[in-house]
Structure 1
Amino acid sequence: MRLFVGLELPLPLLHAIGELRGGLPDVTWQSPESYHLTLHFIGEVTHPHLHEEIHHVLSAIRATPPVLQPAGTGLFTSARPNGSDTLWIGCAPDDALTTLREKVRKGLNRAIPAGTERNSRHFTPHVTVGRMEHPDQERRQRWLATTVPAAEAQTMGHFTLFRSIRHADGPFYEPLEHYPLQF
């Protein structure tokens, strides 16, 4: 089972971000139902004992609910010569979001068995919205100049353990467990 921890987006954010779909040609846009903010990618988990340990670690996390506010566009460029760029919407800086991400990352890195790859990637809070095939500099600049639709900041009430399921139509993210955030 391929797992990750993230934040489900409330409907007002889904709708606001979804307004950007179709703004560029030759982009494979993700469905708004799949929008989320990844806090920590876990990867493939095959042992039931490890799945249980992950649940215990996440259940023990206490954190202030973060506030999400869309802020700007960005892209991750592919390292492959003919790869695609990943288009994303960023989030305004929020200390509670950074703290939650660190608690999740540290807890899970302690729970993952020795010898397994640890997730220590730089954290760029974002929501992936699409993939641009064969990007050129002009198309990249058009995306980066896109104005993000106005959306009211939203306070998150929980974070979620997701299962990523690959389909021919793209990935599907199944929520497995919600973990409440306390004030």
Structure 2
Amino acid sequence: MVRAFFAVELTDDIRNQCDAVQDMLRHTDAKLNWVNPALAHITLKFLGDISDDLLHRVEGVMSEFSFDPAEMTVSGVQLHPRKRPRIVWADVSDNGWGETTVAGMDKLLAPLGIPSETRIFTPHVTLGRIKRYDPSLRAALEKVAGHAFGEMRVDTITLKKSTLTPQGPVYEDIMEITI
């Protein structure tokens, strides 16, 4: 079994900004597991644990996938969900590109038995997962809420393998889909 997902990679500049924002939020009384900025990305579609055979069929189907390039802006930091927050994330503005792209992916993957997304796609970059919330986190967040991470052009989607370890996930690129 392979734990797999489709993602958009971030630029080094945006990853550096992720690191800077995490540093600004580390001094709260909340307990968080921070995402390594080198691994930060925008998840388009999580496939979950799939067999090697299904993974190969996904690669075959997705090798025919085409999409339009996109301009994305990463700006703003928030807690999600707002009530009982579990994640600190950076907002991503993509003018609907992600929702359209994921719908196209769902159409190709559904015949393979991979369910379509039921939630509306919300592009974001996860910065940290909240293990123990403390109100000091919300206060610190107000200082970085409007932080501008940067802009980027998307012309590649990557299928990634994720191996969970006690030290955090290890990602391996399986395939790239480019325009």
TM range (shorter): 0.7 to 0.9
Map of 2:19 onto structure 1: 18
AA partner of residue 53 (structure 1): R
CA deviations over 1:79-120 (Å, ceiling 9, x no partner): 9x9xx721110101423333212212222223226xxx5432
SS of equivalent to 1:161: strand
Tell me, in whole angstroms, the C-alpha distance in 1 between the residues paired with 2:142 and 2:65. Answer: 35
3-state SS of paired residue (2:38): helix
TM-score where L is the length of structure 1: 0.82
Note if contact 1:63-1:96 (Cα within 8 Å) is conserved in structure 2.
no
Give yes or no for contact 2:24–2:140 (8 Å, CA) kept in 1.
no
Higher strand share: 2
Query: What does residue 139 of structure 1 align with?
Result: 137
d(CA) in 2 for partners of 1:151 and 1:47? 37
Mapped pair 1:42 → 2:47: yes
Match of 2:175 in 1: 177
Matches within 5 A, 1:53-68: 53-68=57-72
> What is the deviation of 1:144?
5.4
| Cα RMSD after superposing both structures | 2.4
Distance 1:178 1:148, change over 3 A: farther
Q: Residue in 2 aligned with 1:155?
A: 153
| 1:72 is aligned to 2:56 | no
Question: Could you tell me whether the CA contact under 8 Å between 1:22 and 1:29 is conserved in 2?
Answer: no
1:103-114 paired onto structure 2 within 5 Å: 103-112=104-113
Mapped to 2, the partners of 1:112 and 1:97 lie a distance apart of: 21
Tell me if structure 1 keeps the 8 A contact 2:75–2:149.
Answer: no
Structure 2 gaps of 5+ residues are none
Give the C-alpha shift of residue 41 in structure 1: 0.7
Q: How many pairs does the alignment contain?
A: 174
Cα deviation per residue 1:24-80 (whole Å; 9 max; x = unaligned)? 2333221111101000011111141x112211222111111122211222223499x
SS in 2 for 1:133: strand
Distance change >3 Å, CA 56–CA 71, structure 1 → 2: same
Which runs of 5 or more residues in structure 1 are unaligned?
Answer: none
Give the letter for the 2:111 counterpart: R
Residue 141 of structure 1 and its aligned partner are, at CA, apart by: 4.9
Q: Which runs of 4+ in 1 moved over 6 A?
A: none
Q: Give, in angstroms, the shift of residue 138 of structure 1.
A: 4.5
Secondary structure of residue in 1 paired with 2:119: coil
Contact 1:67–1:156 (Cα < 8 Å) also in 2? yes
